[in-house]
Structure 1
Amino acid sequence: MTTTLANRRGLLIILSSPSGAGKSTLARRLMAWDETLQFSVSATTRDPRPGEVDGKDYIFASQAQFREWVKDNEMLEHAHVFGNSYGSPRAPVQAAIEAGRDVLFDIDWQGAQQIRGSSLRDHTLSIFLLPPSIAELHRRLVDRGQDTPATIAKRMKKSWDEISHWEAYEYVLINDDLDQTEERLKTIIRAERLQRSQQPGLADHVRRLQTEFEDLS
């Protein structure tokens, strides 16, 4: 699918969930569904994992560089998680929105809260993904094989903190079936793209209709 970018503003699409609830997988599916979607590449101070590419998966930076970006207001949102800093660079997001491109964020509730409190809040769509059960959440973390048992324990402990903020989101989906959840996400995005605030040309169109109406009088 390809979406026409003409005559609309871009959306900031936020996907949040506890680790293991499926947000990264669903984010990849949405990117495959619509090639115009732009993924917000986060900056982080953590070390790269095997196979991760700087500038594609993450922008890897030192703590000193990250602090400088925050100080200079170059981060749209930022947070400290598991001993490392994460954040979304502001400039590429602003450019995409102005060009009518949607930007997809895979971030936690802290980042979502900061973006919804920013100057771009009117163009933000926030979606939270819940796991079908805590047991299933733990199984997914174990099966993906990315973390040590100690890290999995930390992620499980943090999961309830993430889940407790579900009411702060506009949409909440239980991800018990990836295919169904993907379709629901597409439905939400299609509808939000048609919101009045996302169509800057509507006011001009109504004025033209008014002129035509008056000319008939």
Structure 2
Amino acid sequence: MKNYISLKLKRGHAEMDVDIKVLKENFRLRNIEVEAFDSLNEIKAYILNIIPSNSTIGIGHSLTLQKMNITHLLSERGNIVYDKELSKSREERQAVKKKALIADWYITGSNSISIDGRIVNIDHSGNRVAAITFGPDKVIIVVGKNKIVNTLEEAIKRVKNVACPLNARRTGLNPPCATLNRCVDCVSMDRVCNTLSIIEGQSETGRIKLLIANEDAGY
């Protein structure tokens, strides 16, 4: 992969080049590993190679992971996979989310990452951000280039004003942002942004791997 990724910022329509070497170094200083790939297919092969077939795996809901079909591939080869999307009832869904919190590995996407070294997510129930923060021994976060912004402030803005409205509509919820396409800090029971998480560093070396694809993926 080249050292530069071309992407469109959500602020206007100007294109900018992201220096992956700079991004990697900023995350390295925060004890988070970054690998860049040409495609999600390459990331899929990488994940299947580094995760042992006898490991338990939790899945954080992600359109990116669904596109990769990673749950099926891991299950097919023998891994025990806890993916709430396979649940048949609300009770089973809750149980699966709790089991995912103590799996050996946790794989998820992210709402936004910043070149200065932050990972920003907003959750409806909080299970995904909880697992990223603590629980599983290893965490893999997969993002497309469209999730990259310059700063923490831009990352939070992107999450609230881009990802949240789209995810609300996708799940059939109707907070104000689903109509307005922007955050108004509502108190709606339908709000999808109940828990804001900012990963600014990692105390355990090698625990979090951030995998970036040179293609757009997810919201």
**TM-score bin (small chain):** 0.3 to 0.5
User: What is the TM-score of this pair, normalised by structure 2?
Assistant: 0.37
User: What is the TM-score of this pair, normalised by structure 1?
Assistant: 0.37
Greater RCO (CA < 8 Å, at least 6 residues apart): 1
Structure with bigger strand share is 2
Q: Which structure has the larger Rg? A: 1
